[in-house]
Amino acid sequence: MKYWKKYSKEKLIKRIDKALESTIDFQNSKYLGYPVSRLDENVFNTSGTFLNNSPLLKSFIANPNNIGCHTLGKSEEAFKGSQELEKEVIRVLAVDIFKAKENEYDGYIATGGTEANIQALWIYRNLYKKEFDATLDEMVILSSEDTHYSVHKGSNLLSIDTVSIPVDFNLREIIAPELDNIVKKLISEGKKYFMVISNMATTMFGSVDNPDIYAEILSKYKVKFKIHIDGAFGGFIYPISNRNSTLNFENPNISSITIDAHKMLQAPYGTGVFLCRKGLIENVLTKEAQYVDGMDLTIVGSRSGANAIAVWMILFSYGYYGWFEKINTLLLRTDWFAKQLDALNIEYFRDPFMNIVTIKSEYVPEKLAHKYGLVPDTHSGKNSWYKVIMMDHVEIDDLLKFVEELTNISIS
């Protein structure tokens, strides 16, 4: 890990204080033309000694705006400090976790996985339009049936058809012959330009798609394609737990990646990350964004610099090894839980590198599922699965109570 280090608390606070100093001081500044401000001190408690050890609260009060994308071109001068910290976050993710070459990536902290997924689709739509004069009818989005619904939102917004690829019921793996048939049929219907959303851990199962299956079949039919990895849930787990993962920028088939910081990383809501190879994000340049200094390349306009600082703080409080240990603790709990289910002959799905266990619903009475807050695969109609996620707050002692109740059921 070249950039992902662990900093002391003092160092974290010092860097954040410095970053906030270089954010314009709205109190004493001459920035007459900026429609911006720190938080309203008539409403919020914005001073006091409680702030000394709370760099994040200080950041929210200073209220920097990280509008724009800071890995290329110019950026708004007024908020350099928090932009610099965002750039460090993007660099750790792109280079250290997802193996991009130095300066060969772009990215920004989006509002969440939904925005980051739609940003990718938007980029590829415009790329196909620009390079091939493609029409919307000639484009199509492919993803597995377990894919997050944000892809359907993107399909609707961008007016591009989306097709779900069936997965094996037990393995949750894309069925390659089905994919082949679907692609063949789509081509016969006039589709020429493909956008793939490949999952690095689905929301319900933690299942991980193999993007090379898409690449192989689409290459065979000689159609244009781009592959985006949706790591909204798995992005801070899978690349750490599976050292042989090829879901990164060393894989030439992969062009862009979504990661959420407000799931596993426990950052405040409003912190998803979009990463892509250099030369792609320019496809969504909004030339009319004249009043903002720098290029406008993001779906969202103004966005919270404090949120970027929060992600920076989390990454550099743990460092790579600290995070590695945390993930391994969660995986140990998951192993333990899976073993208990094995002993009870309860069927479930689990990817060995993920902290999700999804149990077939016939083994869990509805009342028990409700009592322990398990999440069903559907809230309308009969569900087939219930998932358990080993997060920070889900300890073995909590799991044990659930397992004991399951045991009592299997005995009686």
* Residues in touch with ligand PLP (CB under 6 A): 112-114, 117, 148, 150, 202-203, 230, 232-233, 260, 272
Place of tokens 């590829």: 124
What is the C-alpha to C-alpha distance for residues 55 and 20, in angstroms, rounded to an integer? 9
Residue 300 vs residues 260, 292, 398: alpha-carbon distances, Å: 16, 13, 39
Segment (H or E) for 306? helix 305-343
Phi and psi (nearest 5°) for 23? -80, 145
Residue 230 CB, shortest distance to ligand PLP, in Å, is 5
Residue number with CB closer to ligand PLP (68 or 234): 234
Structure tokens at 133: 């004069």
CB of 397 to ligand PLP, least distance (A): 26
Nearest approach, Cβ of residue 373 and ligand PLP (Å): 17
To ligand PLP, the closest distance from the beta carbon of 351 in angstroms equals: 13
> What one-character DSSP code corresponds to residue 50?
G
Measured from the CB atom, the residue of 267 and 281 that comes closer to ligand PLP is: 267
What is the rounded distance in angstroms from the CA atom of residue 21 to the CA atom of residue 34? 17
CA-based nearest residue to 223, from 195, 203, 200, 242: 195
CB of 402 to ligand PLP, least distance (A): 23
Query: 62 or 109: whose CB is closer to ligand PLP?
Result: 109
DSSP, res 203: T
Q: Which residue lies nearer to ligand PLP by CB, 239 or 272?
A: 272
Smallest gap, in angstroms, from Cβ of residue 199 to ligand PLP? Answer: 6
In the bound state with ligand PLP, the residue whose beta carbon lies nearer, of 225 and 238, is 238
Compute the least distance from the CB of residue 150 to ligand PLP, in Å: 5
267 SS3 class? coil
Q: Residue 336 in contact with residue 221, Cβ under 8 Å?
A: no
The sign of the dihedral angle between the CA atoms of 310, 311, 313, 317 is positive
Q: Which is nearer to ligand PLP, 112 or 239 (CB)?
A: 112
Nearer to ligand PLP, 114 or 355 (CB): 114
Minimal distance, residue 408 CB to ligand PLP, in Å: 33
Report the alpha-carbon distance of residue 65 to residue 81 in Å, rounded. 10
Cα Rg of the chain, angstroms: 23
Q: List Cα–Cα distances, 210 to 213, 247, 301, 311, in angstroms.
A: 6, 8, 33, 28
Q: Which is nearer to ligand PLP, 123 or 403 (CB)?
A: 123
